[in-house]
Every structure is written in structure tokens, then in C-alpha cells.
Amino acid sequence: MTEHLVDPQTPRDLKAFIAGLPKAELHVHHVGSASPRIVSELAARHPDSKVPTDPEALADYFTFTDFAHFIEVYLSVVDLIRTPEDVRLLTYEVARELARQQVRYAELTITPFSSTRRGIDERAFMDAIEDARKAAEAEFGTVLRWCFDIPGEAGLEAAEETARLATDDRLRPEGLVSFGLGGPEVGVPRPQFKPYFDRAIAAGLHSVPHAGETTGPETVWDALTHLRAERIGHGTSAAQDPKLLAHLAEHRIALEVCPTSNIATRAVRTLDEHPIKEFARAGVVVTINSDDPPMFGTDLQNEYAVAARLLGLDERGLADLAKNAVEVSFLDDAGKTRIKGEIDSYTAEWLGR
Ligand SMILES: O=C(O)c1cccc(C(=O)CC[C@H]2O[C@@H](n3cnc4c(=O)[nH]cnc43)[C@H](O)[C@@H]2O)c1
Ligand SMILES: [Zn+2]
């Protein structure tokens, strides 16, 4: 992302620190990470689409009236991904952008149902993401892992298909570590997805549903109770329930906080009203993430800058935030130790300048 996107209230020195800080990204969507260049290129290839071909016009197109409007626009971009080569290119370019921001490890949320139902062969889909993952690690040094999410509003057919793709030994990609649930929450109760999460967990996957992004704290409780969530995507409304905050803190169930996303989808009115401070105050493990960065006019660096301002963090505080993400990631222990060591060395060197 360009300089103008970095939170304007962040001191220049802290901005530079954030830019070089080794980071982990735990909540970022595959299609939602398509850069304006990729989106406009794909839109030009498919003139039947209403997505603008001019990257400049995308900023307007990516201005959302509410969460439902965001999902409508999101699906118009999903419609542009039509071939395994589109999938490979998108994945590889997402990794390039993450590497540019010093992201060493990322768990990318992918919705395979949306691609297979649009006619992409399932085997070719898996090969495309795996091919991009391996190339990205070799060329950029960024380790990618996958979270396959159910688009909840598409119903149990989508849940069945996602669970099948995630657990079939002949298809399941090597990089897959977790199972999620995305899309609108209103009218999409979490408990109905319990059997699919049970299957995924039995197959060794971690549970990371979205919850409490656009509905109340009861949705977060449902995600914990029925889906055995190990981390929560967003969890914004948890701030309304002190018992829930205490439970999250006690069990070290981290929140994948995405501040700018919540403003862009109008789930929260302003950044100053974001409950991230309440989370931190209650001792909940907070991780900072970008969700759908180009669609929300942000990137991970900007989200760290926003967090620094809202939480009043200096360099050490930011390094702790980056280490939180590494600790609650699904990377192996050796990988975690390596990245945390890199964060510590970088911070010590920066502060000793
Ligand atoms: O693909 C389809 O045909 C389809 C049919 C009905 C409903 C859906 C969806 O609801 C897809 C939702 C899609 O949104 C992704 N996403 C991206 N950012 C967020 C977010 O902040 N909160 C929730 N979901 C998000 C999610 O991964 C799904 O792929 C699809
Ligand atoms: Zn999300």
C-alpha cells in the first residue's frame, strides 16, 4: 500500500519501526486481498462484470453502505476468479504483498466452496494454492497456511462441501491448518455448523470462526460452545459482556481484531469507539489483522499504526502485539521461536540505534 494509507497520526519514527517489524497475519481473506491492479486486470478480462476496470474507480466501488453491501461487492470480485491460473496468480500476489510488509507467516482464509461452485475443478484449485504457497515461501520467505471457511449464508450445502474439501485425504492441501466460518452472521446461527466443525477438528484442524462481528456476544459464546473456537474472528461485540471477556482472557482465546474493517463495513462507527481498548484492559489476547486490505483501503502496517494509537503503544508494545500473533498462530514451535527471536532482535537493534 502507498504512504498515504498509513495512519496520519502515527509519528514518522513509529511508522518506520512498524514497516520493518517482522509480523504474522492471522486474519486475511484470499479474494479480499486482491490488489486494485489484479482486480482491474481480471475485470478487464471479463467485460460482463460490473467491477470497474480502472483501479482509480475501485476506491468508490469499495465504499460500503453496510455489511450486506460489502458481501455483495465481495462476491462480484469472487465472480472474477474463474480459472486455476487466476487462483494461482491471486495467491502468489497476495504473498508478495505480505512479504513487502515483513509478514513472515500468514494464515489466509480461503473459501473453496465459492470457487468450486463457480466451476473451478477442485483438484486444480488445491494444486493452484499449493503451487503458489511453495513458490512464495521459496521466493519471498513468507510462510503461508490456509484456513478453509464455510460461507455461512450459503447454508449447509456449503458447509458439507467445505468440510469434504478440508478433510478428504486425497484433496486436503498440505498447508491447511484451520477451519472457519465467514459471511453475514444475522440469520445464520452458529450451532447448525457444529457437525462440520466436529469433522474438521477430528481431522486435526483448528477452529477459527468469525463471530461477534455483526451480531452480539451470544454469537461468540455459540462459537466457543458449539464450534469449539480456539480464536475468534473479530469478536467485536464481546466487549458488551464482561463475563465473556473474562472467559476469553482466562482461556487465552485470542481475538483477531481488524479495526479498519469494522469501520469500513460500518460494524463500528469510528476508530475511537473501537472496543480494542476494552479487550486489552480485560487481559484478552489481542492480535492485529487486516481482513480484506485493499477493499478497506488499508494494509497490515496501517492496522498496527491504528492499534498503536488506540492502545497508546510504543515500540516494545508493538513488538509484544506482533509476538501475540505468532504465539497464538498455528505455526510449529520451531517456527514460532524463530519469528519471535527475529522480532526481539529487530526491536533491540532499533531501540539501541
Ligand atoms: O460464494 C457464494 O456463492 C456465496 C453464496 C452465498 C453467500 C456467500 C457468502 O456469504 C460469502 C461471504 C465471504 O465473505 C468472506 N469475508 C471476507 N471478509 C469477511 C468479513 O469481514 N467477515 C465475514 N466474512 C468475510 C468470507 O470468507 C466468505 O468467503 C457466498
Ligand atoms: Zn474476516
Per-residue pLDDT, 5: 61
- Determine the Cα–Cα distance for residues 128 and 132; give it in Å rounded to an integer: 6
- Determine the Cα–Cα distance for residues 324 and 322; give it in Å rounded to an integer: 5
Cell numbers describing residue 113: 466452496
SS3 state at 275: coil
Out of 74, 157, 186, 258, mutate this one to test ligand 1's pocket (max ligand atoms within 8 Å of CB): namely 74
183 alpha carbon – ligand 2 mean position (Å): 8
Which among 143, 193, 190 is positioned nearest to 329, based on CA atoms? 143
Q: Which residue has the cell 497508546?
A: 312
SS3 state at 119: coil
Active-site position among 213, 230, 256, 303 = 213
* Tens digits of residue pLDDT in 272-305: 999 999 999 999 999 999 999 999 999 999 999 9
- Look at 37-46, 158-167, 228-237 and tell me which has the smallest mean pLDDT: 37-46
Neighbours of 37 (CB within 10 A): 12
3-state helix, strand, coil in the chain (%, to 5): 55, 15, 30
Mean pLDDT confidence for 29-45:
94
Q: Which residues contact 302 (CB under 8 A, 6 or more apart)?
A: 1, 5, 6, 7, 260, 290
Strand order in 286-288's β-sheet?
210-211, 231-234, 254-257, 286-288
Cα 157 versus chain centre, distance: 24
Contact assessment for residue 299 and residue 293, using Cβ atoms and an 8 Å cutoff: yes
Strand partners, 25: 106
The residues lining ligand 1, judged by C-beta closer than 6 Å to any ligand atom, are: 29, 32, 71, 74-75, 78, 109, 111, 114, 117, 149, 151, 153-154, 182-183, 210, 213, 261, 291-292
Neighbours of 272 (CB within 10 A): 9
Mean pLDDT of the chain: 96
Whether the pLDDT of residue 152 is over 70: the answer is yes
Looking at all shown ligands, the one closest to residue 31's CA atom is 1
Confidence of residue 14 (pLDDT cuts 50, 70, 90): very high
- Look at 46-50, 89-93, 231-235 and tell me which has the smallest mean pLDDT: 46-50
Looking at all shown ligands, the one closest to residue 78's CA atom is 1
